[in-house]
Amino acid sequence: MHTDDTDFRTRLRAAGLRVTAPRLAVLDAVTAHPHSDADTVATAVREKLGSVSIQAIYDVLHACVRSGLLRRIEPAGSAALYEARIGDNHHHLVCRSCGTVVDIDCVVGSAPCLEPGHDHGFVIDEAEVVFWGLCPNCRRPGGENPVYPGEPVPGRVAAEEASQ
């Protein structure tokens, strides 16, 4: 998905942020490459603008997250990842082997889609769900479990038994 520069300018202004070349480049990079870490965003921004410090990239990412233009997700064992898909209730599926992240729409619809047994006085506005598994590329038929060598690939045994 590519959003044009005019839309980014409008969104930055609506969020109360100044329109700058680094902000436009970061929004473009995250939109073009969802679930990217700061280093990946920095590489894309530098390809577009030339020399930009990693601190400037982090500053822009944090400003955009605070203002609601980007979402930061932090799957366990991973660097913070950024995405431009905001304003809906979706979750993430992460490959245990290669780290690929994909969006999963919530079947419930509205946020939060889970309710705790006790809210301890909190006003809950979001539930973050991360599903873990092996992507099709890492689930090699008849191959070894790339995450836990010597163990069966999760889901493969049940699928193979069901097909017999």
Task: Measure the CA–CA gap between 60 and 48, rounded to whole angstroms.
Answer: 15
Q: Annotated binding residue at 95?
A: yes
Q: Where are the beta strands (DSSP E) in 90-129?
A: 90-95, 101-105
Q: Annotated binding residue at 135?
A: yes
Q: Annotated binding residue at 106?
A: no
Number of Cβ within 10 Å of residue 56's Cβ equals 17
Of 48, 23, 24, 45, nearest to 36 (Cα)?
45
Task: Measure the CA–CA gap between 11 and 33, rounded to whole angstroms.
Answer: 18
8 Å CB contact between 70 and 62: no
- For residue 108, the number of C-alpha atoms closer than 13 Å in the C-beta half-sphere is 12
- For residue 159, the number of C-alpha atoms closer than 13 Å in the C-beta half-sphere is 8
Binding residues for Zn(2+): 95, 98, 135, 138
Binding residues: 95, 98, 135, 138
